[in-house]
Amino acid sequence: MHGKRETQPVVELKDGALMGRIKDAVYLFCGIPYAAPPIGPARFKAAQPVQPWEGIRDATKFGPAAPQIPSGGMTDRVPVRWDEDCLTLNVATPSITADKKAVLVWIHGGAYRSGQGAIPWYNGASFATLGNIVVVTINYRLGALGFTDLSSFAEGYETSGVNGLLDQIKALEWVQHNISAFGGDPERVTIAGESAGAFSVTTLLGAPRAKGLFHRAIPQSGAAHHTLTQTQGLRVAELLMQETQSADVQALIDCPVETLLNAQNTASARYHTEGHSPGVQAFYPVCGNEIIPTTLLEAIETGVGRDIPVLIGTNQDESSLFMLGSPEDSTAETQSKAYGSSDLHKHYARLFPSFSPRDLAVRMATDFSFKLPAVRLAELRAETGSETYVYQFNWRSRIPGLGATHALEIPFVFNMLQAPGVTAFIGPGALPQPLASHMHDIWIRFINGQAPEWPSYQRADRAVMHFDETSHLKHNDYEAVIDLWAGLR
């Protein structure tokens, strides 16, 4: 490695040289290919090795996102530049000297259908400058292109229901082989992500193919339960083929990507109306294959991932983001039945007597989709003696109806409260910088190999750190949720 000149650093990789830039006092290399383009006949196939290049490749601009229809969520409200040739990653490092810094690999969220590594909220500059950490953000295939299980329709597509996860594994393999050129230590890699990124992190925790590629894990707002069965995956594939009027896999390969995206949406809507398991959507990863042989909870029960320290948590009002504008008498009773209980909402009403019907619906949906999966993972890991540090983010947005909503913790974790779009999410008034600094410091300590400032989760006391204006440790406050959902999905 060497510096071409101060504003244009160059690193040498086995595949070729890269020229980056200096931004926010860190070295930034963007749009680095970690696999060959998954285009043409390679669509729906596992990612293949990248082809080496000659000369110095320009790595000063972010690569395109995976094909997607923006969700309108807080982190992707602007038009997204996308392309099927999307398997790239970005590296932010405080220096390109060989001092073996800890590495953070961030996996973006977006329901496995939207998002990208280049979102400003994921700017790794503060981790690099304050924590001496190398930050990697990645793109991976989404939606129908990343998670349509075509294994029942043609040979050679055994991984098609998990290709998006295989992309993530390919990126982690790239980190193992190349991150030392950026000053990173391949033996100190933490994977982290939020929402579908957290689903990915915990799924990789139980995936045999990912063993040894990372050493710590931080799933934010996502844990177990978020995969499809083979039967569900087959149904999703059938619906996609119907919506695209495809008679076989080759027809899907020949289908324009815009047509695929539109069909993905209509197939998803049909899948939802068929009444499949709530909380798991169409085009999620499919288990029962060589990448995800079994469910995460079954893998954890056998001790898989027990040597990986995990920092896991959820936000108090995750589901408020998805229920904005819903009627005040929202669907608590309907939710109860969907979750397998006719009277669950009555128990919640007794637990939270001051809650409106909508508040109850938000809390139930939050517990079902986010909090309960995290608690169940922590409970199982406690049985195997694993290090598991649990938190809950309680800081309430000043935007009416949001509370401590989904994704709100991201700019706190990254210490990026001044990033575009954050103020519109947290609301007017002074920035809550003390809380951001506190959380950011805990994440830095964890990535650098240190335990947080509270004990590992044990069934005897169930210690959970609650982050707020004044953060505090609570014990056993998850017991009511565990008891309420006993025996339910």
In a domain, 248, yes or no: yes
Q: How far is CA 469 from CA 121, 399, 417, in A?
A: 21, 16, 15
Model-wide pTM > 0.85: yes
> Residue 330 — pLDDT band, cuts 50, 70, 90?
low
Query: 429: how many CB neighbours lie within 10 A of its CB?
Result: 8
Range of the domain at 385: 2-484
Lowest mean pLDDT among 132-141, 211-220, 329-338: 329-338
List pLDDT tens digits, range 25-78. Answer: 999 999 999 999 999 999 999 999 999 999 999 999 999 999 998 765 555 556
Question: Where residue 182 sits, what CATH number does that domain have?
Answer: 3.40.50.1820
Lowest mean pLDDT among 61-70, 73-82, 166-175, 417-426: 73-82
List pLDDT tens digits, range 345-388. Answer: 888 899 899 998 889 999 999 999 999 999 999 999 999 999 99
In a domain, 318, yes or no: yes
The 3-class SS string of the chain reads CEEEECCEEEEEECCEEEECEEECCEEEEEEEECCCCCCHHHCCCCCCCCCCCCCEEECCCCCCECCCCCCCCCCCCCCCCECCCCCEEEEEECCCCCCCEEEEEEECCCCCCCCCCCCHHHCCHHHHHHHCCEEEEECCCCHHHHHCCCCCCCCCCCCHHHHHHHHHHHHHHHHHHHHHHHCEEEEEEEEEEECHHHHHHHHHHCCHHHCCCCCEEEEECCCCCCCECHHHHHHHHHHHHHHHCCCCHHHHHHCCHHHHHHHHHHHHHHHHHCCCCCCCCCCCCECCCCCCCCCHHHHHHCCCCCCCCEEEEEECCHHHHHCCCCCCCCCHHHHHHHCCCCCHHHHHHHHCCCCCHHHHHHHHHHHHHHHHHHHHHHHHHHHCCCCEEEEEECCCCCCCCCCCCCCCCHHHHCCCCCCCCHHHHHCCCCCCHHHHHHHHHHHHHHHCCCCCCCCCCCCCCCEEEEECCCCEEEECCCHHHHHHCCCCC
In a domain, 378, yes or no: yes
Residues 464 and 391: beta-carbon distance below 8 Å = yes
Give yes or no for residue 1 having a pLDDT over 50.
Answer: no
In a domain, 489, yes or no: no
* 310 alpha-carbon distance from chain centroid: 14
Give yes or no for residue 4 having a pLDDT over 50.
Answer: no
Percent of the chain surpassing pLDDT 70: 95
Q: Report the chain's mean pLDDT, rounded to a whole number.
A: 92
Residue 78, pLDDT score:
60
In a domain, 428, yes or no: yes
Residues 147 and 72: beta-carbon distance below 8 Å = no
Q: Domain count of the chain? A: 1
Residue 337, pLDDT score:
78
In a domain, 259, yes or no: yes
Give yes or no for residue 14 having a pLDDT over 60.
Answer: yes
In a domain, 464, yes or no: yes
Q: Which residues are catalytic?
A: 195, 318, 406
In a domain, 320, yes or no: yes
* For range 392-398, the mean pLDDT: 97
The encoded tokens of residue 129 equal: 């400058």
List pLDDT tens digits, range 97-141. Answer: 878 999 999 999 999 999 999 999 999 999 999 999 999 999 999
List pLDDT tens digits, range 462-471. Answer: 999 999 999 9
Give yes or no for residue 297 having a pLDDT over 90.
Answer: no
Q: What angle do CA 235, 237, 239 make, to 5 degrees?
A: 70
Give yes or no for residue 3 having a pLDDT over 60.
Answer: no
Residues 397 and 403: beta-carbon distance below 8 Å = yes
Give yes or no for residue 5 having a pLDDT over 50.
Answer: no
